[in-house]
Amino acid sequence: MKARTQTSLAVSADGEEWVLLNASPDLRAQVQATPALWPRGSPRGSPIAAVILTGAEVDQTAGLLTLREGQEFAVLATAQTHAALAANPIFSVLAADVVARKVVGCGEPFALPGGVSAELFAVPGKVALYLEGGNPALDAETEANVGVELACADARLVYVPGAAAVTAALRKRLARADVLFFDGTLFRDDEMITAGTGLKTGRRMGHMPLDGESGTLAALAGLPGRRILIHINNTNPILVEGSPERRKVEEAGFEIAEDGMEIAL
């Protein structure tokens, strides 16, 4: 089984300016392993021009603290996600005169460096764990949990690292993608309970399982383009090469993401 860091993607239209999709706690190691993201011009110069956040979970935002080196960049997210960052004083290390915090609403196209257009869209899910309260909605379609659609020329990429369900509208959007990165957290809903690593089901955590009649494999069956599973928990048996679960997802036409994966569109 290959070691994998947490989910972040780096995208670029020109190979010069890069945009991160989420900033995982592993961001420093990910940058070190990716020469295209190394400093340029000065020890603290960076080709990272922007970070798009799909939510306020720790595994989506903690890597921002790695980028506090005086390099200008923008953080783009919904108002709800920005509010969560603003409420946590640790993120004030991202100086306001250096890091621009830009609010983007769902369904509002915006431009990224290099001629890439982007759009956020609501995905069934829940608020960040530390914001849950007593009885959180697990599959609400709000700006707390979003996906990202990127387009450049005729190429289209969609990134959905967390999904509690696939609605008809969401499936229609996903069908337009040349490449889809989609939530593959757990293979079975009770996987963490069975493994003795947690007390919650996948659905309680806001993630639909891969297997089962209402799972991801069934919900996304027949979609065109490449379908790549991301945000995979370390209990998920699809990480084990040759496992029955791995074979099942591959036979269904899905790929399993790994560190260093490069895709050209």
Q: Are residues 114 and 170 in the same domain?
A: no
Q: What pTM was estimated for this model as a whole?
A: 0.96
The answer to whether residue 35 sits within a structural domain is yes
Instruction: State residue 2's pLDDT score.
Output: 82
User: What average pLDDT does range 162-191 have in this prediction?
Assistant: 98
Q: Is 80 a member of any domain? A: yes
Tell me the residue range of the domain where 174 lies. Answer: 162-260
Same-domain check for residues 223 and 116: no
Average pLDDT of the chain to the nearest whole number:
95
> Are 10 and 105 found together in one domain?
yes
Q: What is the pLDDT of residues 40-66, one digit of tens each?
A: 877 778 899 999 999 999 999 999 999
pLDDT value at residue 40: 83
Same domain for 174 and 105, yes or no, is no
pLDDT per position as a tens digit, 77-135:
999 999 999 999 999 999 999 999 999 999 999 999 888 999 999 999 999 999 998 88
Query: Quick check: is 157 in a domain?
Result: no
Share of the chain above pLDDT 90, in %: 89
Are 166 and 110 found together in one domain? no
- Residue 197's pLDDT band, with cuts at 50, 70 and 90, is very high
Taking 80 as the threshold, does the pLDDT of residue 258 lie above it? yes
Q: Judge if 111 and 18 occupy the same domain.
A: yes
Query: Is residue 127 included in any domain, yes or no?
Result: no
106 and 212 both lie in a single domain: no
> Would you state the pLDDT for residue 226?
97
Q: Are residues 114 and 32 in the same domain?
A: yes
Q: State residue 135's pLDDT score.
A: 86
Q: How high is the pLDDT of residue 71?
A: 82
Structural domain count, the chain: 2
Please say which residue of 122, 153, 178 terminates a domain: 122
User: Is 117 found in the same domain as 18?
Assistant: yes
In a domain, 236, yes or no: yes
241-249: long-range contacts at Cβ-Cβ below 8 A with a sequence spacing of 24 or more? 241/1, 245/187, 245/210, 245/211, 248/211, 248/217, 249/184, 249/210, 249/217
Q: What CATH number does the domain containing 7 carry?
A: 3.60.15.10
Residue 148 lies in a domain: no
Instruction: Note the pLDDT of residue 134.
Output: 80
Q: What is the pLDDT of residue 157?
A: 98
Residues 104 and 200 in one domain: no
Structural domain ending residue among the three candidates 66, 97, 122: 122
Give residue 114's pLDDT.
Answer: 82
Q: What's residue 45's pLDDT?
A: 80
Band (3; pLDDT cuts 50, 70, 90): confident
The answer as to whether 16 is a domain residue is yes
**144 within some domain:** no
Q: Which of 90, 107, 122 is the last residue of a domain?
A: 122
pLDDT band at 39 (very low <50, low <70, confident <90, very high): confident
Shared domain for 89 and 196, answered yes or no, is no
| Same domain for 70 and 184 | no
